[in-house]
Amino acid sequence: MSTPPLPPGRVEGSAILTEKFESFQGEGPWTGQRCVFVRFSRCNLRCGYCDTPESWDWNRFNPAEVSDRVPVTELVSWVRERGVDMMVITGGEPMLQQPAMTALASGLTNVRVQVETNGTIAPTPELASLVDLWVVSPKLANSGMTYSSRIKADALSTLVATDRAVFKFVVTEPDRDLDEIAQLVEEHRLAPVWVMPEGTTQEKVLAGMDALYGPATDRGWNVSTRLHILTGAR
């Protein structure tokens, strides 16, 4: 089933969310830092290993039951009440709702904004200026998506040009995936690079990190943990 259109309304004044919660960042360069997560609903990809299918899989979930339209002013107040200095906008694919993202980031001038995106949609100049860190996760063949749907050169180029982007890849089989990552890195001039094991159990994450450490070191890449999996946090 295709992704339904966003419900009517002033999109820039509200966002369609799956959830929002306080935790710490479990992945990438800001790992371990206290933050709030604002998870936007809807996605333009259908990755086989996705751990948030409720944001897009309408064969399994009813969008009316797993997503809500939330006023941006309410979100701004909620973030401020948490007393954190970092907000992670994630999904789904939040870039499908750039006006809402822009309004949200604009209302939180004293909060660092990190955006997690699949890198298929370029940000507007206004939004790009408001984001402190782009964590871009281009999808590999292991996602089950076609190359043309998961790799968009223009969008990646725009994100590279912000000078505030890192590129994080999910690895399921190192012997296969690392060569594919190297090719994408070279073709699209992606840096810095983080590789992260796929896994939803402590054992799988730890084994995956162990398998990635040597090859990543040899290539000059970084390795990301999945701290929320290791600790049992959200």
Q: Which residues fall in the annotated binding site for [4Fe-4S] cluster? A: 43, 47, 50
Q: Which residues fall in the annotated binding site for S-adenosyl-L-methionine? A: 49-51, 92, 137-139
Task: Report the candidate in 52, 46, 27 with the shortest Cα–Cα distance to residue 149.
Answer: 46
| 7: preceding bond cis by omega (within 30 degrees) | no
pLDDT at residue 158 tops 90: yes
pLDDT at residue 229 tops 80: no
Give the other-Cβ count within 10 Å of 88's Cβ: 25
Q: Parse the chain into domains and list their residue ranges.
A: 11-168
What does the pLDDT look like over 131-140, one tens digit per residue? Answer: 999 999 999 9
Does this model's pTM top 0.85? yes
Q: Which residues fall in the annotated binding site for substrate? A: 24-26, 39, 90
Class of domain 11-168: alpha beta
Q: CA–CA separation, 133 vs 164, rounded Å?
A: 5
Span 187-199, average pLDDT: 95
Q: Which residues fall in the annotated binding site for Mg(2+)? A: 52
Q: CA–CA separation, 5 vs 61, rounded Å?
A: 15
- Given the DSSP bridges, would you call strands 86-90 and 34-40 parallel, antiparallel or unpaired? parallel
SS3 state of residue 147 = helix
Predicted local distance difference test score (pLDDT) of residue 49: 87
Q: Which residues fall in the annotated binding site? A: 24-26, 39, 43, 47, 49-52, 90, 92, 137-139
